[in-house]
Amino acid sequence: MEITTRALWTMIHGMGFGALYLLACSGALVELYRFTTSTIPAEPTPGQERFFKVYLAAMVVIAWVAVLMGAYVIYPWYRATPPPGTTDLAMFPQRLLMSSSTTIGWHSFGMEWKEHVAWFAPISITMVAFVFIRYGRDLKNHRQLRAAVLSFAVASFVAAGIAGFFGAMINKYAPVQGGHTIQLSQGEEK
């Protein structure tokens, strides 16, 4: 069992930070609603509030690491230009997708959307975290502000979901490959 360094970085980006962010987002939406809606009778304790502030701050870090790693580590490998005369495009995912009418949409629609929409996730969640850290449970007394914060949190989740879906599908049809090969385990011959 082996993996290339580029595939490993792609996995850390998508299955690590990306998937972790999506999971964290679903929890954050529930907690945001619980903390900021006055109709729920049980008051969260100061400890729970402190925990949720740290949780949101961690989400901000995860979201920024995911998009920055995607844009500055993975994306250059994805969009690399092959030397003239190259016939095997396996190491050039963008060109590989563009070389067939059955896969070009994964680039022209999927990647074109993903590479921009993904950035709404960290921008939105940074704002959400800032507002919650500043206001805490007082946010329940700012009905309109609370609605805006929840809407941006949902938008962050949707943006990350779109980026995650297309990232996974693009990597399925044209995986990012190359770099050193890391041997994970030695299989026995049958």
Partner 1 sequence: MNTPNSVASASSPAIPNGSGAAAVLAAGIGSFALAVLAVAGDKSAAIKSSLVFYRPTGPLSGVTTAAILMWLLTWGILEWRWRNRTVAVGRISVVALALLALSLLLTFPPVVDLF
Least CB distance from residue 77 to partner 1, whole Å? 9
- Output 10 or 126, the one with its CB closest to partner 1: 126
- Output 91 or 158, the one with its CB closest to partner 1: 158
To the nearest 5 percent, what fractions of the chain are helix, strand and coil? 75, 5, 25
Least CB distance from residue 7 to partner 1, whole Å? 18
Provide the binding-site residues for partner 1, judged by CB under 8 A: 38, 43, 45-46, 67, 71-72, 75-76, 79-80, 108-109, 112-113, 115-117, 119-120, 123-124, 126-127, 130-131, 134-142, 144-145, 147-149, 151-152, 155, 158-159
132: β partners: none
- Output 72 or 187, the one with its CB closest to partner 1: 72
Distance between CA 6 and CA 176 in Å, rounded?
Answer: 6
For the stretch 107-140, what's the b/e string if a residue is b when 16 or more beta carbons lie within 10 angstroms of its beta carbon? beebbeebbebbbbbbbbbbbbbebbeebbbebe
Instruction: Give how far Cα 36 sits from Cα of 101, 121, 151, Å.
Output: 49, 21, 13
- Output 50 or 184, the one with its CB closest to partner 1: 50
Least CB distance from residue 184 to partner 1, whole Å? 28
- Output 72 or 83, the one with its CB closest to partner 1: 72
Distance between CA 39 and CA 41 in Å, rounded?
Answer: 6
